[in-house]
Chains A and B, each alone.
Chain A
């Protein structure tokens, strides 16, 4: 158990809908990262937050948004869903910044999103 929790584990929805994925980092970790893994695109980095602030942005679509709350949990909002958004969405956490620190990055089990 990595200590990172993600809910829900599975989500099935229809095109055009909006969903929210939730991530709770390990206790004390300040950084949260979101990744998308799909058959077409492979693994992609979406976005990173550090202590409530956005610090790095990857291939995140405009239809997607995220935030990190004062209690450090994070939510990834996906709207106007398309078939191509079907993927496994991973959240990870670490104590500090990803690249500059020495902390290990811990991953949650992922949320599998299916858009029908």
Chain B
């Protein structure tokens, strides 16, 4: 069965620090898709990134970067120079196929960025 583990339940950092959120996944499939979502204190969900298992290139989007390593089944998310607005719960997720079949979320990591 598919599984996503986010071992860090809560993380606190001071503004401008870099922070990495860990995501480890389990799947028997050779083709799969990984996602990150953000849920700020206001409660809405925000899609951050989608990555398929064939593309191991790291991705950078502004202060956000993602490190996908199949060898360790990890898809970690780094925020550089964190800001208070980055405070949120971050969810990693895994999908088995193109349509979102067997889509599972991790339990989330609550990030608090202190001024």
Residues of A within 8 A of B (CB): 2, 33, 35, 42-45, 48, 50, 55-58, 88, 90, 92, 97-100, 102, 104-107, 109-110
| Chain B residues packing against A (C-beta within 8 Å) | 33, 43-47, 50, 52, 91, 93, 95, 97-105, 107-108
List the 3 closest pairs (A to B, CB-CB), nearest first: A100-B98, A99-B33, A45-B103
Given A42-B107, A45-B103, A45-B105, 11 extra CB contacts under 8 A: A42-B105, A45-B100, A45-B104, A55-B100, A97-B99, A98-B33, A99-B98, A107-B44, A107-B45, A107-B46, A110-B43
A56 touches B108 (CB 8 A): no
A98, B99: Cβ atoms closer than 8 Å:
yes
In the docked arrangement, what's the CA distance between A90 and B39, Å? 12
Partner of A48 from the list B43, B44, B91, B99 (CB cut-off 8 Å) is B99
Residue on A with the closest CB to B95? A99
Q: Of B46, B52, B104, B105, which one neighbours A99 at CB under 8 angstroms?
A: B52
Docked Cα-Cα span, A110 to B44, in Å, equals: 7
Contact B98 A97 (CB under 8 A): yes
Report which of B45, B93, B100, B105 forms a contact with A56, defined as CB distance below 8 A.
B100
Q: In the complex, how many angstroms separate the beta carbon of A42 from the nearest chain B beta carbon?
A: 6
A105 to B103, CA, bound (A): 14
Cα distance A110–B43 in the bound complex, in angstroms: 9
Q: A88-B43, A92-B45, A107-B45 are contacts. A48–B108 as well, Cβ < 8 Å?
A: no
Cβ contacts A to B, 17 pairs, < 8 Å: A35-B45, A42-B107, A43-B91, A45-B100, A45-B103, A55-B99, A56-B103, A58-B100, A58-B103, A88-B43, A98-B95, A98-B98, A98-B103, A99-B33, A100-B98, A102-B50, A107-B45
User: Cβ of A107: which chain B residues have Cβ within 8 Å of it?
Assistant: 44-47
> How far apart are B109's CB and chain A's nearest CB, in angstroms?
12
Per the bound structure, the CA–CA distance linking A42 and B97 in Å amounts to 22
Pick from B46, B47, B99, B100 the residue with the most CB of A within 10 Å. B100
Is the Cβ of B98 less than 8 Å from the Cβ of A43? no
